[in-house]
Amino acid sequence: MFKVTSTDKAPAAIGPYSQAIEVNGFLFASGQVPINPEVGDVVAEGIVDQTEQVMKNIGAILEVNGLTYTDVVKTTCFLADMGDFATFNEVYAKYFTGKPARSCVAVKTLPKNVLCEVEILAVTKK
């Protein structure tokens, strides 16, 4: 069995999916984009502000599950422009200090034309 988890401190799903699913000691979180959940809109257009909002959204999903960024074992990062890679990494590194495994790819377009999206896999049983 699995448990669907959600929080109003992160953006609601904008499609037929859950914010996160917990199963067998793992939390699988859907990709987070830089939507401010308080207003439902994408934050400023720059990669720094957008990455910060993505990290806040991830933090909210982790928190509602009693977890922190150090419980994350894998991330998948999507960038609209690989030219933002270094700047994205600077913000990312402030949050993922445990250096989880990671994939990072450039994609043609992201939902709502945002600059970045990040999904996570975390360990729930320590």
Which residues form the catalytic set? 104
Tell me the DSSP string of 28-67.
EEEEE-SEETTTTEE--SSHHHHHHHHHHHHHHHHHHTT-
Q: Give the helix/strand (H/E) hosting 77.
A: strand 72-79
Structure tokens at 34: 């830089």
